[in-house]
Amino acid sequence: MDPLAEVLVAQQDFIGQLKEQEEEIVKNKKKVKTTSNQVAIENQQSIQNASEIIDAQKNNQNSRNSLPLPESEMMLALQLETNTQLNEKVLSQTTTTMLNEIRKVKEVEVNNK
């Protein structure tokens, strides 16, 4: 075979390989697009499901809030609120006392130097 014919055959083979690669790329792009669309649909469904769950919880909470509490639950809620307020007050006093003690210790340290 003459050299020119060999070059033409090699070029045709190369062009054939390029076309195969191009077809493979097109197939992969379609797969990626399909996968991306599926992921987007799944994400949208997840968001919608989460939204429905939240709405159901809100509706449940609203229906519970609209019903009067039994007396025992009212007393428990009142006791819990009172305990919380007392704990906050004690914590505040303890913090203030600790800060005062720290200041005194620092004053003593400064005076002793």
Query: What residue segments make up the domains of the chain, in order of their start?
Result: 1-67, 69-113
> pLDDT for 41-68, tens place per residue?
887 888 887 778 777 777 766 655 555 6
Q: Cα(33)–Cα(55) distance, rounded to whole angstroms?
A: 33
**Where do we find the tokens 């919380």?**
84
Q: Cα(74)–Cα(68) distance, rounded to whole angstroms?
A: 9
| CB contact set of 69 (below 8 Å; sequence gap of 6+) | 77
Q: Which two tokens stand for residue 81?
A: 């609120």
Q: What is the pLDDT along the chain (113 residues), one digit of tens a residue?
A: 788 889 899 999 999 999 999 998 888 888 877 887 787 788 788 888 777 877 777 776 665 555 565 677 767 777 777 777 777 766 677 777 777 777 777 777 677 76
Q: Which two tokens stand for residue 39?
A: 């992921």
Question: Which residue type sits at 33?
Answer: K
SS (H, E, C) 101-113: HHHHHHHHHHHHC
The answer to whether 35 touches 27, Cβ cutoff 8 Å, is no
Q: Which two tokens stand for residue 26?
A: 């097109």
What angle (nearest 5°) sits at the alpha carbon of residue 30, between those of residues 24 and 33?
A: 140
